[in-house]
Homo-oligomer: A and B are copies of this chain.
Amino acid sequence: MQIVQDIATLRDIIGEVKKKGLSIGLVPTMGFLHEGHLSLMRAAKAENDFLVVSIFVNPLQFGQGEDYEEYPRDLARDQELAAAVGCDLIFAPPVKEMYPRGYATFVEVERLTTVLCGSSRPGHFRGVTTVVAKLFNLVSPTHAYFGQKDAQQAFVLQKMVEDLNMNLELVIRPTVREADGLAMSSRNKYLTSAQRKEATVLFKSLNKAAGEIEKGERDPEKLKEKIAQEISAARGARLEYIEIVDTSELRPVSTVAGSCLIAIAVKFDQTRLIDNIVVGV
């Protein structure tokens, strides 16, 4: 496995891989790898000849007062984990390699990015689409892998790929969960042990809502109220949003029908957790 920090070397290696006609799988990450990332890598390795994992804590997608500085980093451990699943190349550039002095170009998806997480994190998705567009140009992957946990990110990136006619396929893989249902996230590390126990409320409340839908409930307001009640019963949990939206334009639905995304964001102190499920009626 090669570890590359500069763009010139990356381009040389990718050029050679392409010349051989090999397919490339890309798993973009911010590092501090967990089982969710590893499951993406295993899929990417199985479906492509050459696996690239990028590790870059992207300052552009963090807002003022968010956790850019504190975001956990452990490149040595990440290298071991990536090597163990057959990663061929880690691209881990410093910030100045990605955003040199005078950097000025941004990729933005409109509408889809102003709802859900976008409304509490202005600029977040613009940072995501910009860095992912750069990574796609640098690695020219055949397939790129993202997790369903970041559902809105997956929708936004899919829209970017379609709209800008990017020549690759996005693969969105199911959320990987801890034994008790908590969605894997590098930010789970911030939780105290008491918060960690309460954090299962995200997935539990989503499942409750799915159960209500199964029983015939179609009113999004009633479902949201149910979820809110569950969340408020968990000690230290502050609900940031619950939304029930369609899965094409992420617009709030007036009745649950077709394919809907139920997405929530919950804060424990400064730690912000998200989770979601897709329900089909």
Contacts and interface: CB of A to CB of B under 8 A. Distances in A.
A123 to B, nearest CB: 13
Nearest to A160: B105
Interface of A: 7, 11, 102-112, 129-130, 133-134, 137-138, 140, 159-160, 163-167, 249
A95 to B, nearest CB: 14
A106 B105 contact: no
A108 B106 CA distance: 5
A160 B130 CA distance: 11
A139 to B, nearest CB: 10
A99 to B, nearest CB: 8
Interface centre among A107, A109, A112 (most CB of B within 10 A): A107
B140 A104 contact: no
A7 B134 contact: no
Contact of A165 (B102, B112, B138): B138
Contacts of A106: 107-108, 110
Given A102-B249, A249-B102, A137 B108 contact: no
A74 to B, nearest CB: 26
B110 A108 contact: no
Interface centre among A104, A109, A164 (most CB of B within 10 A): A104
Contacts of A105: 107-110, 129, 159-160, 163-164
Contacts of A138: 165, 167
B11 A104 contact: no
A259 to B, nearest CB: 16
Contacts of A108: 105-108
Interface centre among A103, A106, A160, A166 (most CB of B within 10 A): A106
A129 B164 CA distance: 11
A248 to B, nearest CB: 8
A89 to B, nearest CB: 16
A94 to B, nearest CB: 15
A180 to B, nearest CB: 38
